[in-house]
Structure 1
Amino acid sequence: MDSSPIPVLIVDDDPTTTAVLRGLVRNLGGGLTCEATCVATGAAARVEFKRGGHALVLLDYLLPDEDGLTLLAAVHALPEDRRPVVIMLTGAGSEQVAVEAMKLGAKDYLVKTALNLPTLRRAILGALERRRLEEQLAESTALLRRQHAQLEADLTMAREVQQALLPQGYPVFPADAAPADSRLRFCHHWIPSHQVAGDFFTVFPVSATAAGVFQCDVMGHGVRAALITALLRGLIREQQALAGDPGAFLGALNAQLHALLARVGDLVFVTAVYLVADAAAGEVRLANAGHPTPLHLERGAGRVTPCTLPDGPGPALGLMPEFVYATARRPLAPGDAVLLFTDGIYEVEGGDGEQFGQDRLREAVAARLAQRSGEVLDGLLAEVQAWRPPGIGGLPDDVCLVAVDCAPVG
């Protein structure tokens, strides 16, 4: 504790009590020294409050011009950095007065007839210690608020950067075609459950008539997952030479990602699917790394079919660096579409805890088969949101939906 005298304001209209209090605070002992200023009215006390500089106030409950509780309320209204510690004094004990005084910010309540040096010393030390702890807590709270505000600002910037990494427009096929005349068309919904997401996708040309579509879901949420999506975007750019072969493409991404994540020392994996939609060849080539199976909207045949691989999907990226991913081929007729999605769209739980599920998702897509792909995505989101209990809010997990359409002839 600071060795300089503690400035104390004694507010009491009884000269005898004032003299006793002045003597007590001057001789508290134990290295605790006080310097007292004495006033006898509420009006004089208010002048002292305005002047400031008092660390402690010993305040009588009954004053000639106003009661101590009114004056205590005036102390409580002072700016926090100018608000002294108050100990309320009264001639007779009253539980009601004590409760009201504490509500208005008094740190202790003493009965004058029971005043002695040990009691006053204990009250002053306790009151000053509580004030110190309150100030320490206020400083810590203010620091946490500043840090939280900075974190929110950082997350907002991270979200903006992540959104900038997503496709801002879609390629057209052939490259000189107008968007309405493109042989391959795209639409998507990307909905993060937090400020940044672990779901990511990108679309890029592989040839004049073929598009590569990559979608992934990083384990977990938040900044770490978002950083890995940014890392994957860079790795995808490095592997453009393999983009025509989905299995080789995922294999190269897997090996590079494993090598980078091994340095982190923590288990991280990424489910992913990559497909090449080739309008000229009339086919889809795809490879799957532990990702939900895309759906093939065969509009001409009037059915929705999962894009399965003969041996099932391979392991998630980042787990088995030497794994060889298989490539599957499917015919892609004009008017067909392929829907890629992350698990956040079907793991949504209803009021009874039942998940929406992949079977229900497939049925919902089949029910909208005659619609345009953009309308299909909108309808799916609406149906999944309706599955949740009312008043719950946003989706609990990141959601990414991407549709690739092979334009109908004519």
Structure 2
Amino acid sequence: MNASSTPLLIVEDSPVYAEILLQLLPSLGAGLQFNVKWVDSAEKALAELDRTSYELVLLDYKLPGADGLSLLTHIQLMPEARRPAVVMLTGIGREEVAVEAMKAGAKDYLAKDHLDVPSLLRAITGALERKRTEDALAEERALLRALMDNAPDHIYFKDTELRFTRVNASHARDLGLEHPEDVIGKTDADFFPPDLARQMQADEKQILQTGQALIGKEQKVVYPDGKTLWISATEVPLRDRQGKIIGLIGINRDITRSKHLEEELARTAGELALKNSQMQADLEMAREIQESFLPLSYPTFPPDAPPEQSALRFCHRYRPTVAVGGDFFDIFTLSDHEAGVLICDVMGHGVRAALVTAILRALIEQHKPLAADAGAFLTALNNGLVATLKQTRLPMFASAFYVVADAGRGRLRYVSAGHHAPCLIQPTRQQTLLLPCPKTAIGPALGVFENAHYTVTEYPLTTGDVVLLFTDGLFEVAGRDGHLYGQDRLMADIRQHIHLPPSELLDRLLADLEQFAGGTEFNDDLCVVAVEATQVQTP
């Protein structure tokens, strides 16, 4: 079949009406081109649907042998990915026939004795639009299922009566249940001690009454099996399209290990451990939760150093183009003198990109023990993302750049997964350059190929150096004349402001970008992270 045409199956026992349809279809306009197959019975249609994938079926209501409704019932039982849209054709112009067909799953119906170009165009375009909308929603649901099934955090939905309506597998297991479906209809009082359950429900009633989210509340929770965990709880109201609160969505992150470490440090050194960054996932309040994926504070090196005396300092700027974006970064401590900095750019924007971002965040948490080995870390992230996306069969991927900044040895170790090289700024030498990254060392984007290899490259790091990691939103910006800002212009602007502190440099670059674009709205998500080496020990 022609890949640019819509596969269409006509099931009509009358050659006369079949010929009318075949004559009308080419008249619907250049935007609607079809590869048409005609069969005259339900039995032949079943055989054809088994052989070939069709996007649309024009189905006669009355057929010899099995009738149109029987065939429509069979079509509705087909796998969702192969199920065509159906427009029912009938010579009986009664409303009850249309109602019966629509209830059985038809997208529209046409009376055969009133066939003409306008009515056929209306029915076909409407049916195809509804089918494609349903397919898009199915893809979104598949990604949401992948996130729910793979996230280590507890994710749950509740109605206005504070009854669970959905939970992920991780939450069901800790509640002592084998299947997530077993939680539906129950409340916290069915699982937790009375005092704790009352406190949880009091917090949730407050959310439903005020519409204000509960972000990052830390509390000790005793689960049904006696296990005690410290969790960081985030709950936000869930609203319908009219803005009415219809329930809430919650995410509980296990922070037991961090809490124990925090308590130990408080006892021994009187210092608080850095709080874990919060991972949020609420489709209705997606921007607030998406931005919470970013680090809320920066680590210091060594850990007991105040920020102004840290050997490595950080700052960032982040701007999504829509409510949620696909750019993100993370910074984590590898040792007293080593920091790992990861920047990612997920394909596309919106909910899909945000869900893939959430999956990557979960994988990062899982594989942090490998982060000191840059190549092994990116390999693990890639394999995990490939395995997850296989379940959705969606062509999604993410470019990434990961660098280990080692202030103790004066080295940068880095790997690229289809991402452009960062800029190395050396104010003491009046020099800026892109980090050398041979073509042979640039691996494929994450999520594309299983068992991909990522080669580590090294480069010297000296006191005063600044490494600038960024996504392509920082230079693929169109000006008022239609020309792109471009990487060369970006490098020139960096050289012009080379003596500014990193935080001021980022603000200056964004101001220059806004002036070039003629506004503050850009076409792509933008994320930029600066790593400043203030105290480097050279071997």
- Scaled to the shorter chain, the TM-score interval is 0.5 to 0.7
Match of 1:377 among 485, 503, 506: 506
What's the counterpart of residue 327 of structure 1? 456
Structure 2 CA distance, aligned partners of 1:301 and 1:167?
A: 31
User: Which of residues 206, 213, 221 is equivalent to 2:334?
Assistant: 206
Q: Once the 2 structures are TM-superposed, how far is the Cα of residue 197 of structure 1 from its aligned partner?
A: 1.0
- Kindly tell me: are residues 280 and 393 of structure 1, through their superposed partners in 2, closer, same or farther at Cα, counting changes over 3 Å? closer
TM-score, scaled to structure 2 = 0.47
Matched, 1:192 2:320: yes
Structure 2 matches for 1:17-166, cutoff 5 A?
Answer: 147=241, 149=243, 155=283, 157-166=285-294
1 CA distance for matches of 2:375 and 2:437?
Answer: 11
CA distance, structure 2, for counterparts of residue 303 and residue 350 of structure 1: 27
Paired residues in the alignment total 263
Per-residue CA deviations over 1:62-88 (Å, capped at 9, x if unaligned) read xxxxxxxxxxxxxxxxxxxxxxxxxxx
Residue pair 1:155, 1:196 contacting (<8 A) in 2 also: no
2-structure distance, mates of 1:174, 1:196: 34
| One-letter code aligned to 1:396 | N
- Structure 2 residue 433 is matched with structure 1 residue 284: no
Q: How far did residue 251 of structure 1 move?
A: 0.9
The share of aligned pairs that are identical, in percent, is 45
Q: TM-score, normalised by structure 1?
A: 0.61
Deviation string 1:81-104 (CA, Å, 9 cap, x unpaired) is xxxxxxxxxxxxxxxxxxxxxxxx
CA-to-partner distance for each residue in 1:354-375, whole Å, 9 max, x for gaps? 1101111111111111111111
**1:255 equivalent in alignment to 2:373:** no
CA distance in 1, matches of 2:496, 2:375: 32
Residue of structure 2 equivalent to 1:404: 531
How far does residue 275 in structure 1 lie from its aligned partner after superposition?
0.6
Q: Distance in 2 between matches of 1:336 and 1:393?
A: 29
User: Residues of 2 paired with 1:385 and 1:249: CA distance?
Assistant: 36
Name 1:237's counterpart in structure 2.
Answer: 365
The 10-residue stretch of structure 1 (243-252 or 196-205) with the greater mean CA deviation from structure 2: 243-252
| Distance in structure 2 (CA, Å) of the matches to 1:304 and 1:150 | 53
SS class of match (1:340): strand
- Aligned partners of 2:327 and 2:346 also within 8 Å: yes
The Cα offsets for residues 159-211 of structure 1, whole Å up to 9 and x where unpaired, read as 22222221000000001101110000000001111111100111000111000
Match in the other structure for 2:121: none
Q: CA offsets, 1:139-175, max 9 Å, x none?
A: xxxxxx9526479x95552222222221000000001
Listed one character per residue, the Cα deviations across residues 279-311 of structure 1 (whole Å, up to 9, x for unaligned) are 001111110111121011122221111113222
Q: Contact between 1:155 and 1:195, CA under 8 Å: does it hold in 2?
A: no
Residue 345, structure 1, aligned to residue 345, structure 2: no
In structure 2, relative to structure 1, the CA distance for the partners of 1:244 and 1:350 (3 Å cut) is: same
The corresponding residue for 2:398 is: 270
SS of 1:165's equivalent in the other structure is coil
* Partner Cα distance (2:242, 2:352) in 1: 18
Judged with a 3 Å threshold, the aligned counterparts in structure 2 of structure 1 residues 207 and 150 are, in CA distance, closer, same or farther, namely farther
Report SS of the residue matched to 1:284.
Answer: strand
Counterpart contact for 1:183–1:209, Cα < 8 Å: yes
> Is 2:526 the counterpart of 1:395?
no
Quick one: distance in 2 between partners of 1:252 and 1:408? 31
- The worse-fitting range, judged by mean Cα deviation, of 167-176 and 362-371 is 362-371
The structure whose RCO (Cα within 8 Å, separation 6+) is larger is 1
* Partner deviation per Cα, 1:22-58 (whole Å, 9 max, x = no partner): xxxxxxxxxxxxxxxxxxxxxxxxxxxxxxxxxxxxx
Q: Taking structure 1 as reference, are residues 335 and 351 closer, same or farther at Cα in structure 2, changes over 3 Å only? A: same
Q: Does 1:299 align with 2:421?
A: no
Letter in 2 for 1:350: G
What is the aligned-residue RMSD (CA, Å)? Answer: 2.0
Map of 1:88 onto structure 2: none
**SS of 1:300 mapped into structure 2:** helix
Is residue 156–residue 195 contact of structure 1 (8 Å, CA) maintained in 2? no
Task: For residues 355-401 of structure 1, give each alpha carbon's deviation from its aligned partner in whole angstroms, at most 9, with x where no partner exists.
Answer: 1011111111111111111111111101111111x3x5512211001
Q: Secondary structure at the match of 2:241?
A: helix
Q: What code does the residue aligned with 1:167 have? A: P
Q: Is the 8 A contact 2:425 2:433 kept in 1?
A: yes
Alignment correspondent of 1:36: none
Q: Distance in 2 between matches of 1:198 and 1:373?
A: 24
User: Residue type of the partner of 1:405?
Assistant: E
Amino acid at match of 1:346: F
Q: Measured at CA, do residues 156 and 367 of structure 1 come closer, stay the same or move farther in structure 2, by a change above 3 Å?
A: farther
Larger Rg: 1
Using the alignment, how far apart are the partners of 1:259 and 1:243 within structure 2? Answer: 20
